[in-house]
Amino acid sequence: MTPLPFTGLIVMPIVLPALTAAVLVLAFRYRLDLQRIVSVGAAALLLAVAIALYASARDGDVQPYALGNWPAPFGITLVLDRLSATMVLLTALVGLAVTLYAITGWDRRGRHFHPLLQFQLMGLSGAFLTGDVFNLFVFFEVMLIASYALMLHGGGARRLKAGLTYVAINLIGSTLFLFAVGVIYAVTGTLNMADLAAKVATVAPADEALLRTGALLLLLVFALKAALVPLHWWLPGAYAAAPGPVAAMFMLMTKVGAYAILRVYTLVFGVDAGAVANVASPWVVPAALLTLALGAAGVLASRSLTALACFSVVWSMGSLLTAFGLFDFGGIAAGLYYLLHSTLAGAALFLLVDLVAGVRDGAADRIVPTPALPQGALFAGLFFVAGIAVAGLPPLSGFVGKLLLLDATGSAPGAAVIWTVVLATSLAVILGFARAGSTLFWKTAPGPAVPARPGRAAMLPTVVCIAVLGATALLAAFAGPVTAELDATARQLLDTAAYRRAVAPVQSAAMPSGGTP
């Protein structure tokens, strides 16, 4: 085992952004230059912490951490394993990229951008690390409250309207989350995931229907966060209204929903859950296939680059949850690779859309011809690479992820339908990106060329976008080692007994007779 420098490092992805946000608000509220320095430094430090946590988790041991030394199920328990470490590392990478992108001017368009971004990182990290369903709700709320304000960053009627819709739908989701948590707690007497995993199988027959209701309500909430059809409709409007770097950060928001489905419905309501075993299995794959179809149709019909990016997110979530919905080793391993790819490719696409819209003056992000653009060849090349990555063409990671998905579903029930939908929608997405790219970069409207905007600061967003796109190339170049790591992650996730054994000593300290088997 790779030991942590101190056990409290597990809580640092939550504490570090929280303290940074407080310092930014209290000490540097009126000093944007100092906010930028502190924010970039904190994001870089979070990445270093995430790397250390992943190195510690690679040995395969599940490491619980009881905050305040209060044992579960009474206290707050964080749990570090390969999956949570992977998600925290991905969060830190995207967070650093967005921070660097924003410091060249986006953070001037509204107040408190950097504190809000830090709170967003805190909520995301907490959601991935928590070992308790109620605290998953708490971190959901931290994440969502920060996202509300980030989405409105810069103001405007369009953002305000989309923000109100976003707030309303997520308030409904939060209410359903509380109902689900209440029902599950009423039946089992616990919300600690390891404790739940032991108790759901022993629920009295009279309570099985109630427990199933709570489990399905919880699935509804997670599906809403993951933008699964028919609960997807909020995403295109919300992400389209958000500033470019904020939308890139939001790529992790939908992944929280997918992560929660994967974690809860393998550990708590998986194969060992008795009467409620595999309660999510009949629902996830059919909804994911519908999400694939609707997302691809949206990409084809998009009239703006932002809409194109938003519907490509919907489509990618369909692909991701088609893999996760199998709830077996092959599907989970393929889905984890696709999760990494889709997060990075989607973030890069939103950053690129923001860059292109910023130099097209009145045309903004509309898919219409304009006079020649400054650095048009560079933007055309980046859009070409982003389109290849998102659509799943070789040689980038999207192609590898698509092959893994097809291989994982080859022996699944309804494999012919899954393959047909995946391949047909992939073709539709390719056509959508080809149409947009040819209109923007091959056709030109009469008029003087758009003047260039010189300045070294303007180079940093382009460099960040290139770096994030480059990460998808690295995922493909090192597909062998990466898939080996993710295979180990999938195996550990499915070994729910090991998870319960790791957390059991913490539980046993409080309830000697209530330990898990």
String of DSSP letters for 271-336: TTSGGGTTTTHHHHHHHHHHHHHHHHHHHHH-SBHHHHHHHHHHHHHHHHHHHHTT-SHHHHHHHH
Conformation bin of residue 306: beta by default, left when phi > 0, alpha when psi is -120 to 50: alpha
Please give the angle made by the CA atoms of 415, 324 and 285, to the nearest 5 degrees: 50
Distances (CA, A) of 34 to 27, 30, 245, 249, 469: 9, 9, 20, 22, 29
- Total residues found in the chain within this entry: 517
Buried b (16+ CB within 10 A) or exposed e, 399-411: bbbbebbbebbee
486 vs 333: CA distance, rounded Å: 6
SS3 111: coil
Residues 6 or more apart from 379 whose CB is under 8 A from it?
Answer: 352, 355, 356, 359, 373, 441
Q: What residues of the chain score a pLDDT lower than 70?
A: 1-7, 71-74, 154-156, 362, 445-458, 504-517
SS3 210: helix
Radius of gyration for the chain, computed over Cα atoms and rounded to the nearest angstrom: 22
Query: What pTM did the predictor assign?
Result: 0.93
Which pLDDT score is estimated for 506? 43
Question: 3-class secondary structure for 25-82?
Answer: HHCCCCCHHHHHHHHHHHHHHHHHHHHHHHHHHCCCCCEEEEHHHCCCCCCCEEEECH
Facing residues of 121 across strands?
A: none
Contact indicator for 386, 286 with CB cutoff of 8 Å: no
Cα dihedral across residues 8, 89, 251, 65: positive or negative: negative
Which pLDDT score is estimated for 243? 86
Cis peptide before 205 (omega within 30 of 0): no
Distances (CA, A) of 403 to 39, 350, 394: 38, 25, 10
Please give the angle made by the CA atoms of 186, 187 and 192, to the nearest 5 degrees: 80
Please give the angle made by the CA atoms of 316, 238 and 357, to the nearest 5 degrees: 85
Q: pLDDT digits over 245-271, tens only? A: 999 999 999 999 999 999 999 999 999
Which pLDDT score is estimated for 450? 60
Q: How many CB atoms lie within 10 A of CB 209?
A: 11
